[in-house]
Amino acid sequence: MTRFRDTKTLLTDPEFRRLIRGLCELSMQERMDITASLRADTAFTVTHHLGRVPTGVIQHIGDAAAKVYADSNDRAAWTDSILRLKCDTSDWHGKIDIF
């Protein structure tokens, strides 16, 4: 990025605007407790408050070894208020970050 002499030029630069938009999206995440469905590899719904369709999920340590994931059909169902996930074990409880 080039150096700018005035704020007006900086604020209208497309590269600068993309950078700021990306930083805002990174800071917009939600950490939540979830409990996976009763059966392994069965989709369950999680309600979130991002106000946009999430781009990903990070799983944190839970009460057992497990993998929380979303296949392509689950991802297609993600909206600005819900997402569908699966877990490879039953009755898993832990934390995830949605971003």
Domain annotation covers residue 13: no
**Above 70 in pLDDT, residue 1?**
no
Structural domain count, the chain: 1
pLDDT of residue 5: 60
Summarize the confidence of residues 31-37 as an average pLDDT. 90
Domain annotation covers residue 14: no
Domain annotation covers residue 43: yes
Domain annotation covers residue 10: no
Domain annotation covers residue 17: no
**Above 60 in pLDDT, residue 86?**
yes
pLDDT of residue 29: 84
CA–chain centroid gap for 19, Å, is: 19
Q: Which domain holds residue 89?
A: 30-98
Please state, for a pLDDT cut of 90, what percent of the chain lies above it: 53
Domain annotation covers residue 73: yes
Summarize the confidence of residues 63-69 as an average pLDDT. 92
Summarize the confidence of residues 75-83 as an average pLDDT. 95
- b/e code 70-96 from CB counts within 10 Å (16+ = b): beeebbeebeeeebbbbbeeeebebeb
Domain annotation covers residue 4: no
